[in-house]
Structure 1
């Protein structure tokens, strides 16, 4: 168990807090490119602060404090001009660095604007999302480069499910270094649901963990496992997959390459995204996409109960039912929680570096680059490629994707290209119908949220 003081240090993300100061040294996705193309200004909330994000006239992006330094009106209701963002209330104009360029009602010879600066950060596009950096950026402490991880830049069909969860981001991240929950929450519990409701739970998740391992690495913590019936030669141990410090986890298998993203909105809300790049082995002719497919998936039913007949829904149940901020003073960790203990130690070490005026040494890069490849298993749980992909499509949040049929077709065509002619649309439909409660799935698709962008405040 933790003392209350340490629990607060680990979970509070606002400006001036130890964790908040650490987290401000990283880049975060806050919107989809699609959204800023549809309307060039958006309000976002990040690390307990509100900002105005806008698409500049030159095609780039800018982010600054939401409230205008003049009379504190919202810049979200401003005007995008060639030089920057102009406040709609009195016309003060700011460029992407936060410099005040114009104060229309002030005397022509006034130098007042030279003394006014808005808090501004950096903003860039990557993988169909707009990323921002709101931390220090000085000669002694420069902003890091935006890490161009493989999932975002490699060819593939991109699909992004997302939702806002009413809980602290850390309890989500701690789940990423807790491999044993897989065989119980996604294995035994999922099987129990299937037995009660008449569907077949994904078979790969029911295997017992024989051995787990964690290795610190430059991007975070590499997680490994040996499952019953497998050896250390299997990808699950020989390759593993990483928790990408401080707020992501890279997973994959059977051609589904995924980054699980947990953006801290504030202490009690987290924007959770499952960014998937579909790259089935044997397939290279990917459908053209102007933007990634993005959609908000449901995690509560019409009665306000957790939807737990899919993988991410089960995780969300475990995260959210811990409370908005998990009270770790009441927990009792065992030897199986070594990954959680390692992660907390890593956070404390990195917070200490920043508190001493330094920069974090894990999860950042200051080198220009085109791509960063992360280790990630391909052969997952020793299950057939196409069968595992179909299980993931039907048993995870991707079942709510408007591109579900298109993705299913990709994996069938890839199986044929590899010489496996046993898969067809009919067989895939039958497999999916058996693997999840099809009646419940169709009902929720009909009554769940429509395809939309992220909520206004993040």
Structure 2
């Protein structure tokens, strides 16, 4: 049954003071890869309908402040970086990571004017090669250390794209197992045929026999049973999680990925693919091995969606629904019960925030935020080769060093037992 216009707005609005926006402000959100800040001092960030500037001061510490200076509203994206913080290039007012004004070079110091000037500022933390921000009220919760952020036996890559649609329709895709069979299966076969490629025994086209959706303490476990599989298969017995509110974990034994959907505003989402390539036994990964960053393409030079790789197909489906899906005219079927469950969870957790309670997946102690392990199937399609092949065929066009990483994981580099710095 379609939902009302009011409920659709409650689901999709992310600005300050909206139910969805207030819920999302209870969570740490990634706003940049650490590697994006190499060789630069500032990055303009839009998150939860706020325009902010991420900066790195001369001591290497990060700050996140409102974009416009409190003086004459010039953009701090072009600020002068100091050891103590960021100085507006227009008149030299200096601000620290707490938004306090430290100096006004051309104002009388004895009047204490600077003590009455404050920028909006938010705490930032670094974890696993990403920079996270918290835009919510005090007390600030712990930054959760989910397993892929802290493992020492993986090589990481970070891909990102600004997707021009609302974040909820992206998340609903993650509670929709059947689209694998069609979007990444039958449609992909057609893409291959158009390119004159062999589509025999395409592994993503297998028919879904059963679907399972189970609540657990961090969100929802999604399970599937495909044609030709037994109920002892990993995909049915274990599945993989959707971590509330905005993370999908997917992969197999060799490649495991967090897809993180960060709402920029009601109609744009900063999407991160945080991929971990598990090193084979005996391969040592240096602690300072670089985390590659790459831009994930949405459209080609002709303005057409790039659909010859899985992530591009997903983005085409998300964006083609419109900036904000009109759920008042949708017609959900029986296979959409995961989507219904997720919407119910969103509404429940919005209500908890309105009642002054912490929503789920907010961590208040260091102990509960440490080393959070997630369930994850290892053999999705019988051999675990599908996602590996997908990464090898398509994403190597965009991710630096990925072919080198894939060769290593496949054991092609027998001459070394360690990963060489590139």
Is the shorter-chain TM-score for this pair beyond 0.5, marking a shared fold?
Answer: yes
Where does residue 250 of structure 1 map in the other structure?
249
Where does residue 373 of structure 1 map in the other structure?
373
Asked whether the equivalents of residues 13 and 267 of structure 1 are also in contact (C-alpha less than 8 Å), the reply is yes
Distance in 2, Cα, partners of 1:395 & 1:4: 42
Asked whether the equivalents of residues 161 and 398 of structure 1 are also in contact (C-alpha less than 8 Å), the reply is no
Q: Does 1:144 align with 2:141?
A: yes
Q: Does 1:412 align with 2:410?
A: yes
Report how far residue 83 of structure 1 moved. 2.2
Q: Does 1:261 align with 2:260?
A: yes
Where does residue 228 of structure 1 map in the other structure?
227
The root-mean-square deviation of aligned C-alpha atoms, in Å, is: 2.1
More helix by percentage: 1
Where does residue 354 of structure 1 map in the other structure?
353
C-alpha distance 41-24 of structure 1, shift in aligned 2 (>3 A): same
Asked whether the equivalents of residues 392 and 403 of structure 2 are also in contact (C-alpha less than 8 Å), the reply is no
Asked whether the equivalents of residues 158 and 276 of structure 1 are also in contact (C-alpha less than 8 Å), the reply is yes
C-alpha distance 211-6 of structure 1, shift in aligned 2 (>3 A): same
Once superposed, which parts of structure 1, at least 4 consecutive aligned residues long, lie more than 4 Å away?
287-290, 414-417
Report how far residue 152 of structure 1 moved. 1.8
SS at match of 1:314: helix
Alignment deviations for residues 171-199 of structure 1 (CA, whole Å, 9 cap, x no partner): 10000000011111111221232234322
Report how far residue 289 of structure 1 moved. 4.9
Asked whether the equivalents of residues 35 and 292 of structure 2 are also in contact (C-alpha less than 8 Å), the reply is no
**Any stretches of 5+ residues in structure 1 without a counterpart?**
418-458
C-alpha distance 292-200 of structure 1, shift in aligned 2 (>3 A): farther
SS at match of 1:109: helix
Distance in 2, Cα, partners of 1:106 & 1:287: 51
Distance in 2, Cα, partners of 1:86 & 1:300: 37
Report how far residue 288 of structure 1 moved. 6.6
SS at match of 1:260: strand
Where does residue 153 of structure 1 map in the other structure?
150
Distance in 1, Cα, partners of 2:335 & 2:255: 28
C-alpha distance 414-21 of structure 1, shift in aligned 2 (>3 A): farther
Where does residue 277 of structure 1 map in the other structure?
276
Where does residue 449 of structure 1 map in the other structure?
none
Where does residue 446 of structure 1 map in the other structure?
none
Asked whether the equivalents of residues 252 and 376 of structure 1 are also in contact (C-alpha less than 8 Å), the reply is yes
Asked whether the equivalents of residues 281 and 414 of structure 1 are also in contact (C-alpha less than 8 Å), the reply is no
Where does residue 59 of structure 1 map in the other structure?
60
SS at match of 2:121: coil
Superposition pairs of residues 47-446 of structure 1, within 5 angstroms: 47-137=48-138, 142-155=139-152, 156-201=154-199, 203-282=202-281, 284-286=283-285, 289-360=288-359, 362-368=360-366, 369-382=369-382, 384-385=383-384, 387-413=385-411
SS at match of 1:38: coil
Report how far residue 44 of structure 1 moved. 0.9
Distance in 1, Cα, partners of 2:404 & 2:350: 44
Report how far residue 206 of structure 1 moved. 1.5
Distance in 1, Cα, partners of 2:22 & 2:73: 25
Alignment length (residue pairs)? 410
